[in-house]
Structure 1
Amino acid sequence: MAIEVTALRAEHGYVCIVLFLAILVHHLYMAFGVTSARKKYGVKYPLLYASGDDASSKTFNCVQRAHQQSLENFPQFLAVFLVAGIAYPISAAIAGLVYLAGRVVYFAGYSSGEPDKRVRGAFMYFGLLFLYGAVMTMGVKLLLGK
């Protein structure tokens, strides 16, 4: 099957919707979680993390770290998601949803104050690995003229 990128198809709408959901997850849901934790645990701006070894500091730092780690990986996700979405819009959208669901579970687990609970969201990597494979497949097909 040759890759044709001359025009967007209706299926690309799924990519747009998942892109919008990704922004909501990373910049509203998680940011709201950090803002709520700031208020709950009394961590004032401009401090990025709470100082101290008490349970409240640890829990706030877990919430903040969950958001930071997600943001650190957001550009990588966006790049492979959007490129994969050019040739494989429906598959990329499904993989993107898997990744985002994993991110939400990761954030919830980490935000509990027990960092080991973040691994419950590890299934996000199935979505991400699929996107890597789709981008690689697309690249090879383009180079081979298929």
Structure 2
Amino acid sequence: MPFTLQLPDEYGYILAVASSTFLLNTYHFFLTGSSRRASGVAYPAPYATDEQVAKNPKALTFNCAQRAHANFIENQPSFLGALAIAGLRFPMTSAVLGATWVFGRLAYAIGYTSSGPKGRLFGFAVSALSDNSLRLMAMYASVMYVMGQ
């Protein structure tokens, strides 16, 4: 049986939020790169060693920026999937939750690099709440499509 999918008129908001994550990834790239230069941690080392961190506080900042970026790219694909699926049924709610996730991930990166691991907690809470809401909405939308509704 063929399946025809029509995008809601408001789906452009979903695309705009999804596209904003590409800019956020670029921000992470620059944040990590500038922290690496300031720390003196040479390529190809992915993180500063414990010895480097003990001698140079900027090495810890680099590790935090690197981990924030890694955490972002670990979570971005599933977020984009949930956003795309939930947006088929609930475009405006999904776009708002998606924008909230992007804000949370920005706060996560800024907090982590400026205040260390404890600084990421606010951004984590904001992004986790919005991401889990999107995931539930995506599952609900999927079930509704399977049921033909």
Q: TM-score over 0.5 for the alignment?
A: yes
Could you tell me how far 1:46 is from its partner in structure 2?
A: 1.4
Match of 1:140 in 2: 143
SS in 2 for 1:116: helix
Closer, same or farther: CA 120–57 of 1 in aligned 2, 3 Å: same
**CA root-mean-square deviation:** 1.7
Amino acid corresponding to residue 59 of structure 1 in structure 2: T
Match of 2:65 in 1: 63
Gaps of 5+ in 2: none
Match of 1:13 in 2: 12
SS in 2 for 1:13: helix
Quote the sequence identity (%): 34
Match of 1:25 in 2: 24
Gaps of 5+ in 1: none
Could you tell me how far 1:133 is from its partner in structure 2?
A: 1.5
* Displacement over 4 Å in runs of 4+: none
Cα distance between partner residues in 2 of 1:113 and 1:45:
24
Cα distance between partner residues in 2 of 1:5 and 1:16:
20
2:14–2:94 contact (8 Å) kept in structure 1: yes
Amino acid corresponding to residue 118 of structure 2 in structure 1: D
Could you tell me how far 1:81 is from its partner in structure 2?
A: 1.0
Match of 1:118 in 2: 120
Could you tell me how far 1:113 is from its partner in structure 2?
A: 4.6
Could you tell me how far 1:5 is from its partner in structure 2?
A: 5.9
2:65–2:113 contact (8 Å) kept in structure 1: yes
Cα distance between partner residues in 1 of 2:127 and 2:41:
30
Match of 1:42 in 2: 40
Match of 2:130 in 1: 127
2:40–2:59 contact (8 Å) kept in structure 1: no
- Length-normalised TM-score, structure 1: 0.89
Alignment: residue pair count: 142
- Length-normalised TM-score, structure 2: 0.87
Q: What is the 5 A alignment of 1:47-126?
A: 47-51=45-49, 52-54=52-54, 55-121=57-123, 122-126=125-129
Cα distance between partner residues in 2 of 1:88 and 1:82:
10
Could you tell me how far 1:114 is from its partner in structure 2?
A: 1.8
